[in-house]
Amino acid sequence: MFATKGSAQKFNIDLESVKVATVIEQIKKQSDYKFFYREDLLQDDWKVNIQTNSASIKEVLQQLFDDLPVDYIIKKKQVILKSKTISNTNGQSVDNKGTIDQQEIYGNVRDPNAYPLMGVTVWRKGSRTGAVTNEKGNYRIQAATGDTLVFSFLGFKKQEKLVGDEKTLNVILQEEVNSLGEVTLLSTGYQNIQKERATGSFSVIESEELEKVPVNNVINQLEGRVAGLQIDLLASDNTFVYGNQFGETEGNTSYKYRIRGQSTYQANDKPLLVIDGVPSELDIKNLNSNDIEKITFLKDAASASIYGARAANGVIVIDTKKGKKGATRINLSQNYTFSSKPSLSSLPLMNSDQVLDLEQELLEKGVIYDPMGAGIYSSVPVSSGVELMLQNQRGTLSDAELADKLSVLRGRNNYNQIEDYLLQAASSTNYNLSISGGQENYSYFTSASYAKEETQSKGVDGKRLTLTANQNFELFDFAKVSTSLKGSFFNFKQNGLGVSPLSASRTTFLPYDQIVDEAGNSVDYYRAFYSADIQNFEEAGYLPWSYNYLDELANSNNGIKEQNYSANISVTLPLFDGLSAMGTYFIERSNTKQDNIYGENTYYTRDRINQAMYLNPTTQQLTRGIPLGAIYQRNDYTESSQTMRGQLNYNNTFGKHAIDAIAGIELRQIRTEVSGGNLYGYNEQTQRSIDLPSATYTTIYGYNDNISYNQVATNQRRRFLSYYANAAYTFDTKYVVSGSVRLDDYNNFGVDKSYRRTPLWSTGLKWNMSREDFLKDVETINNLSFRATYGFNGNISLTTFPFTNISIAGTDYNLSRLPYAFIAAPANPALRWEKTGVLNFGLDFNLFDKRLGGSVEYYIKNSDDLIQDFPVSEFYGLPNNNTLTRNTATLRGEGVDINLNGEWLRTPEFSINSTFVLSYNKNEVTDSRYENYSTFLNGTASAPPIVDYPLNSIFAFRSAGLDENGSTIVYDRNGDIVDAFTPLTEIEDMQYMGTQTPKYYGSFATTFTYKKLSLYALATYKLDYVLFNPSFGNYVSRYGSFEAYDLNSDIADRWRAPGDEVNTNVPGAQGLGGYSLGRYLYSTDRVIDGDHIRLREISLSYDFSDLVANSFLRNASLSLTARNLGLIWRANDDDIDPDFLPYTSGSLIRIPPTAMYSVGVNLNF
């Protein structure tokens, strides 16, 4: 068969004894014609012979249907098939049974959004009389009163209507939301593959599923939706206002996600993100979820290996919406989300009485000393409680006065002031507008969205604007052109304090402290030195040196502005007989600008200036090293990428044989630019700063120091060159064999091609068993297929290079007094790609009239040449604690993905659908080259890769309680007690407790639908993992001096005197030396079970389409949603949420999630 595309397409066809559908498929493959017909119109037992020579489409169809009861209508590039009708002698329309129709019935058919549907088949039940709707959705048909009309259209539920006395019959068809999640076309980014011909592991989420979770970030909408996709949401009060907005680590403090577990130790472990067919370097927050048509997850080698050296972690392919031919469609939606006010009550914090009790003990035991008159080097701030106790020791405050004043402090519990003045109820607002439509040779989709999120911290918020313009052209009835323009713009404010005042420090906000006093005045605190010393400095001319929480909140001016742009153009040219050529060019640019302007009234600026001032004790003259004015810190991060791709596509069918193949070449460049620095004496109005005459100044302590401008300017470029090919052969729609190969070349892997280049490949097969004769007539089996694939994916480390890395340091004050250089990383000429081999088996099924379906998959992953740091002898003098980074390690993983979908009840007015997702994944280190566990044995939370154990393993010290001095003691591998000052030597001295990564995770979702009302509920779960229950940090240093306040309530249960070891395992204030604290924090007593089930969401929506049917609106809907509704069940008995551990110090301190409530309105015009 040969077809030449153009205005006059001709076909040469020579087929014998084939199905009608086979001929139609030939025409569709070799031309632009699209066919519309009812599913049961063409019978499988109809066999045709067709021979044409340079025939037109009309001639082909005439010969095809000459002896069949099928008629056709040709409208430009659309062919509409219908049953033939016969006319009697009177010219009236009758069916093939000879029944005379009594009247003409006419009407309009639309979708739920009131858009007209073209190509809907309308049949008179029990006959072969039919009609097809036109581009306006209108139809006309002859029918008698009492007849039943059947309306059917691909993708919509079949509907029957009884003909009455009225001649007008309008119908709204409901979309066929397939509970079994079937997708006819799967997108890999490089090509679209029919599902029946796909051998790889794919999962697809349609836009309708995303709409059930009304949030501003796609990553939140995907939680629990896909088997094998594990998402950890680390922030509950926002979706795109990340704690870390800058650089390549953007978002890593707000979310984590993996596909089928971990495949690397140190290299990039995020899945590759592909947007409209091209890899993107942007964070997923840049996408407006309302613009997304579907998301395809590529999970095994056969599906993902086409992306080569970046596919080992899986691939996420996002297709944005395209315009559809027909009338212009306008969609306007708005969503408002709010929460209850956050509370600190769930954090394990000491009360005022417990803090004062601790301070009294520390003072009595000499851990806290009196800084009065101790000199500037020993001048430290003290709390209000300690100050009263010191005054009592000095004799300036009597015992009675002390008791009275401490009683006042004990009566305070001012954590509520943190809630009132520094925290707020989180909220977000989203507006979305889209306009789409199209004509015969052109379609378009444009959208704009605006979102604003306010977090639980006052002064921290973010605004986002996204713009999208997708267009598709057909030029000269020959070439197909698609273009896509996208932009996203962010404005973040980072001026909040949140719960940071509770973090461990000498000036931690204590429960008896005040932000605002009883009179309503904000309270000042001294932080840099002891209060009396600071007052002396201020009297000598130093700037005011007090800290005020509310003033800091008001004076902060820190923000980030981010701009992202992308443009994509793709041109497809048909060549001949199923072969086409496609060229793609994609450009993307992201710029993040961070401006922190510390005004002259901020504590940061006043402290920096004062620390750089020196008071000459002889002359009493002040010299200032940093000028007055603001301090401006700026950082600029720009990442741009370009991709060029040339590709040949071949799709053809020869009788029972079908071939889908692609081959191409791709060039990709990524450029990263970082710049930044500090300006001093900055004036925001004039935008001028002061150049310092000297970088050396005399500090407040009297010694010289250098001021740092922190100037940085780097420009890195990474280039990739790839050749790839993929092919699938299908026989008789039953048996499929596929294969792919890709060769990647990367410039940052040196000059040796044997290391720089890597070939990656995959192969697969599929057996559509339900099409076999022995299963074809089994009514309970609608579909049953088996898949098997094997191949290799790759991965790279973007921070490891083959060359010696030499860094320039500052001045060597010990010897030369000159700047010096050092080796940051030794040369690694054998640096190469990491590789992961994946073996995958899958079973897909639909049963019981498609009421039950899903897939079950089992996979094995073997990762080789993993990049790993491992220790070497100090003899070599290597940096980074004498470690080398090499391709040395291996890792094995395996797992099961189960996705089940059930339609439990199906009636015209009521339905119940459920989805169950189960993922199982485990891994085992098979070679790490890591044998030195001394750091880990000395007490750290994270375990290195240990052979025969999983990554992220948790090993705990075998707790033996406390000794008579209040220090932690443990058992070694032989059961002998080891004190806090004796190191352990073998990993067996610790006890394996499990892994901190859940082995089982997934979700259960159910949708109840009654007429226009829909109720949706989603629960997620994580099972079979353990965690350390957080406790306090080191509030007493190894030298026995006070380090910092930690408010964790465990300290209140500490050891105080000999004999207390019988009742507590919390080490005493002077029992934290040696390895005591670490062995307490990471002991078997601190391990908790992380298993839990969470009620993630409940939503209720109502469709008002019937109520607005006769108005200017096509459709309207209202939705109410509640998220973060809490835990349904937890395995631990400590009332701890495993996803939000109760840290009370450091950057990990955060408030447990509060419920979020949303109201949404959706309008279609």
DSSP 223-246: TTTSTTEEEEE--SS-SS--S--S
The pLDDT of residue 135: 74
* SS3 track for 324-377: CCEEEEEEEEEEEEEECCCCCCCCCECCHHHHHHHHHHHHHCCCCCCCCCCCHH
The pLDDT of residue 85: 56
Q: Are residues 217 and 364 in the same domain?
A: no
pLDDT above 80 for 781: yes
The pLDDT of residue 99: 45
Q: Are residues 259 and 310 in the same domain?
A: yes
pLDDT above 60 for 7: no
Quote the CA–CA distance of 1018 and 1009 in Å, as a whole number: 15
The pLDDT of residue 676: 93
pLDDT above 80 for 933: no
Q: Are residues 406 and 525 in the same domain?
A: yes
Give 289's DSSP letter.
Answer: G
Q: What is the pTM for the complete model shown?
A: 0.85
pLDDT above 60 for 343: yes
CB within 8 A of 767, min separation 6: which ones?
734, 735, 736, 785, 786, 787
Residue 740 placed within a domain: no
The pLDDT of residue 683: 92
Quote the CA–CA distance of 80 and 291 in Å, as a whole number: 31
Question: Which of 322, 339, 361 is where one domain is finished?
Answer: 322
The pLDDT of residue 1034: 87
Between residues 809 and 1018, which one has the greater pLDDT? 1018
Task: Indicate the helix (H) or strand (E) that contains 400.
Answer: helix 399-410
Averaged over 734-758, what is the pLDDT? 82
Give 1042's DSSP letter.
Answer: B
Q: Are residues 380 and 283 in the same domain?
A: no
What tokens appear for 132 in the block? 């097809």
Averaged over 923-947, what is the pLDDT? 77
Quote the CA–CA distance of 580 and 648 in Å, as a whole number: 6
Q: Poorest-confidence range of 246-250, 320-324, 415-419, 908-912? A: 246-250
Question: Which of 53, 84, 115 is where one domain is finished?
Answer: 84
Between residues 983 and 43, which one has the greater pLDDT? 983
Quote the CA–CA distance of 199 and 927 in Å, as a whole number: 32
Contact between 133 and 115 (Cβ < 8 Å)? no
pLDDT in tens, 436-465: 998 878 999 999 999 999 999 999 999 999
pLDDT above 80 for 691: yes
Most confidently modeled range among 62-71, 483-492, 618-627, 797-806 = 483-492
Angle at 134 between CA 130 and CA 138, to 5 degrees: 80
Averaged over 217-238, what is the pLDDT? 90
> For residue 664, how many C-alpha atoms fall within 13 Å in the half-sphere facing its CB?
22
In the structure, what pLDDT confidence band is assigned to residue 6 with cuts at 50, 70 and 90? very low
Quote the CA–CA distance of 1061 and 1050 in Å, as a whole number: 15
The pLDDT of residue 805: 75
Residue 622 placed within a domain: no
What percent of the chain is predicted at pLDDT more than 70?
A: 93
In which domain, by residue range, is 367 found?
A: 352-412+497-555
Q: Would you say the C-alpha torsion 320, 321, 322, 328 has a positive or negative sign? A: negative
The pLDDT of residue 88: 35
pLDDT above 90 for 569: yes
Average pLDDT, the chain: 88
Q: Are residues 208 and 316 in the same domain?
A: yes
Averaged over 133-138, what is the pLDDT? 82
Residue 1019 placed within a domain: no
Q: Poorest-confidence range of 128-142, 216-230, 465-479, 530-544? A: 128-142
Contact between 634 and 679 (Cβ < 8 Å)? yes
Choose among 218, 22, 36: nearest CA to 131: 36
Residue 55 placed within a domain: yes
Q: Are residues 300 and 200 in the same domain?
A: yes
What tokens appear for 734 in the block? 């039953």
Q: What is the four-CA torsion angle of 1056, 1060, 1065, 1069, rounded to 10 degrees? A: 10
- Is residue 477 classed exposed, middle or buried when 0-12, 13-18 and 19+ CB atoms within 10 A define those classes? middle
pLDDT above 90 for 681: yes
pLDDT above 50 for 34: yes
Quote the CA–CA distance of 437 and 471 in Å, as a whole number: 10
The pLDDT of residue 817: 64
Q: Are residues 207 and 316 in the same domain?
A: yes
Residue 794 placed within a domain: no
Averaged over 66-79, what is the pLDDT? 79
Between residues 614 and 165, which one has the greater pLDDT? 614
What tokens appear for 837 in the block? 């081999």
Q: Poorest-confidence range of 75-89, 530-544, 603-617? A: 75-89
The pLDDT of residue 176: 67
- Report the domain count for the chain: 3
What CATH number is given to the structural domain containing 40?
Answer: 3.55.50.30
What tokens appear for 488 in the block? 């996203």
Give 705's DSSP letter.
Answer: E
pLDDT above 70 for 69: yes
Q: Which amino acid is at 726?
A: N
Q: Are residues 207 and 305 in the same domain?
A: yes
φ, ψ of residue 389 in degrees (nearest 5): -65, -40
Residue entry with tokens 């419920």: 1155
The pLDDT of residue 943: 75
The pLDDT of residue 462: 96
Residue 1134 placed within a domain: no
- Is residue 206 classed exposed, middle or buried when 0-12, 13-18 and 19+ CB atoms within 10 A define those classes? middle
pLDDT above 50 for 634: yes
Question: Which of 523, 555, 587 is where one domain is finished?
Answer: 555
Choose among 764, 922, 742, 751: nearest CA to 835: 742
pLDDT in tens, 1097-1133: 999 999 998 888 778 888 899 999 999 999 999 999 9
**How many CB atoms are closer than 10 A to CB 39?**
9
Most confidently modeled range among 62-76, 183-197, 825-839, 894-908 = 894-908
In the structure, what pLDDT confidence band is assigned to residue 1095 with cuts at 50, 70 and 90? very high
φ, ψ of residue 307 in degrees (nearest 5): -95, 0
In the structure, what pLDDT confidence band is assigned to residue 39 with cuts at 50, 70 and 90? low
Contact between 30 and 11 (Cβ < 8 Å)? yes
In the structure, what pLDDT confidence band is assigned to residue 488 with cuts at 50, 70 and 90? very high
φ, ψ of residue 608 in degrees (nearest 5): -60, -45
Q: Are residues 226 and 280 in the same domain?
A: yes
pLDDT in tens, 551-560: 999 999 999 9
Residue 1048 placed within a domain: no
Q: Are residues 57 and 198 in the same domain?
A: no
What CATH number is given to the structural domain containing 279?
Answer: 2.170.130.10
The pLDDT of residue 97: 40
Averaged over 172-184, what is the pLDDT? 58
Residue 59 placed within a domain: yes
Choose among 280, 276, 248: nearest CA to 187: 276
Between residues 1026 and 877, which one has the greater pLDDT? 1026
Q: Are residues 508 and 384 in the same domain?
A: yes
φ, ψ of residue 855 in degrees (nearest 5): -150, 150
Residue entry with tokens 């997702």: 917
pLDDT above 80 for 648: yes
In the structure, what pLDDT confidence band is assigned to residue 40 with cuts at 50, 70 and 90? low
Q: Are residues 207 and 286 in the same domain?
A: yes
